[in-house]
Amino acid sequence: MNLLALETSCDETAAAVISETGNASGPWRIASSIVASQSEIHRAWGGVVPELASRQHVRDICGVVYAALDQAGISLDDVGAIAVTQGPGLVGSLLVGVAFAKSLAWARGLPVIPVHHLAGHIESLTLAHGELPLPAAVLVVSGGHTSLYHVPSAGVYQVVGRTRDDAAGEAYDKVAKLLGLGYPGGPVIDRLAREGRDDAFDFPVTRLTHADRNAPHPTAPPGLLPPEAARRVDFSFSGLKTAVLRLIRERTKEPSGGQRGSRVDVKVKAAATNGSHGLSRQEVADICASFQRVVVQALLDRTFEAAGWLGARSVGIAGGVSANSRLRAEATARGERTGIPVFVPPLHLSTDNAAMIGAAGFRRLRSGATFDLSFNAEASLTLTG
Ligand code: KG4
Ligand code: ZN
């Protein structure tokens, strides 16, 4: 069967055709994958503007779907099911994909499968590498999420850790903004970090061990992790972002002691829009490299610790930040050291795309679940299953 998949949760309008292979260890193949990125539109604003995003999805969605069918060499008559991202994401953006998918499914008499965006990121690993050795510990790390999942069997996702504040990709984007590097920040910091010294600045690696207002209970289901470990799987990146902000303040030549709203603050904020912070290219590269070292260490320490506690037979890393060159290299090296195979998607499946939504859609369809048209877009959908 061919499945048409749609993804419009944030600032990419994407459509793909996924086909079944009949091979249980590698069940799906990408027949086509089209992504229309809006990053040029949002770059001018330093981040995604929700209203602009949903309007652009409306403009792009028909063309993107036709392009996906063309690239796959099929017509709508050859499509047996439709999958669409239901959430989480920007509700106005999600609505465009959901309304389009439901209308097309109704008009053609096809089943439509609502898909959780993070299930899509997790299944991008199966799409690229075939079924993972299970149980697996899978880190989903993107602009909106930093969550660690236990996958005990195919299609079952149990969250065991998550960020208590910023997502790792969000920290990349905010630090890039502070340094006047533009949006999205991940790729540019990744590139600049190669020119910098990663030990130039001693930024803190946050290690959580305690309850707080945001997380009164451990994230993992009771009994899954040893009690003393359950809280150690959460992440936090807002302190790191503040440490970078402080460093930039110290290094600008304004009088010190800046409170919020001081001239130093104003100067740092100005840097966010025009890059005029006065730091040399080498200083910026050193900040990028030092920041990236800490993010990668925080992500991998927790992921590999949890993999050990869970008795995982593989580690997966998916989502936009899994495109990061240092994260990929260090994850592979740690995998070799610990003897746990590590899987990351190819770059075109790391950032948002519809092929991964198709894979997760097939997973749900073949699990025997049935679907109707009564679902709606959900900005804060949680992942269970
Ligand atoms: O998965 P994704 O495309 O969208 C969300 O679901 O959020 O992830 C986008 C995030 C952005 O924050 C972007 O800065 C980050 O992924 N990103 C990277 C890299 N490429 C994209 N972060 C670090 N290094 C990269 N090479
Ligand atoms: Zn994503």
Please tell me the residue having the least CA distance from ligand 1 atom 1: 320
pTM confidence score: 0.93
- Other Cβ atoms less than 10 A from the Cβ of 104: the count is 18
Give the Å distance between the CA of 263 and the centre of ligand 1. Answer: 32
Average pLDDT over the chain reads 92
The overall longest dimension of the chain from CA atoms, in Å, is: 69
Please tell me the residue having the least CA distance from ligand 1 atom 14: 186
Give the Å distance between the CA of 114 and the centre of ligand 2. Answer: 16
pLDDT at position 91 = 97
Secondary structure (3-state) at 264 = helix
pLDDT at position 52 = 95
Please tell me the distance from the alpha carbon of residue 136 to that of residue 327, in angstroms, as a whole number.
18
CA neighbor of 167 nearest in space, from 194, 139, 192: 139
In contact, 149 and 124? CB cutoff 8 Å: no
CA distances from 127 to 120, 305, 346 (A): 10, 26, 10
Atom number in ligand 1 closest to CA 319: 1
pLDDT at position 257 = 46
Q: Is 186 in the pocket of ligand 1 (CB under 6 A)?
A: yes
Please tell me the distance from the alpha carbon of residue 340 to that of residue 314, in angstroms, as a whole number.
5
Residues of the chain with pLDDT under 50: 256-259, 261-267, 270, 272-274
pLDDT at position 276 = 57
CA neighbor of 146 nearest in space, from 363, 38, 302: 302
Give the Å distance between the CA of 35 and the centre of ligand 2. Answer: 13
pLDDT digits (tens, 9 = 90+) for 167-216: 999 999 999 999 999 888 999 999 999 999 999 999 988 888 888 887 88
- Probe ligand 1: pick from 326, 351, 356, max atoms within 8 Å of CB? 351
Q: Is 89 in the pocket of ligand 1 (CB under 6 A)?
A: no
Q: What's the token pair of residue 55?
A: 């309007």
pLDDT at position 384 = 73
- Burial degree of 153 (CB within 10 A; 0-12, 13-18, 19+): exposed
Please tell me the distance from the alpha carbon of residue 132 to that of residue 175, in angstroms, as a whole number.
34
3-class SS shares of the chain: helix, strand, coil, % to 5: 45, 15, 35
pLDDT at position 274 = 47
Q: Is 324 in the pocket of ligand 1 (CB under 6 A)?
A: yes
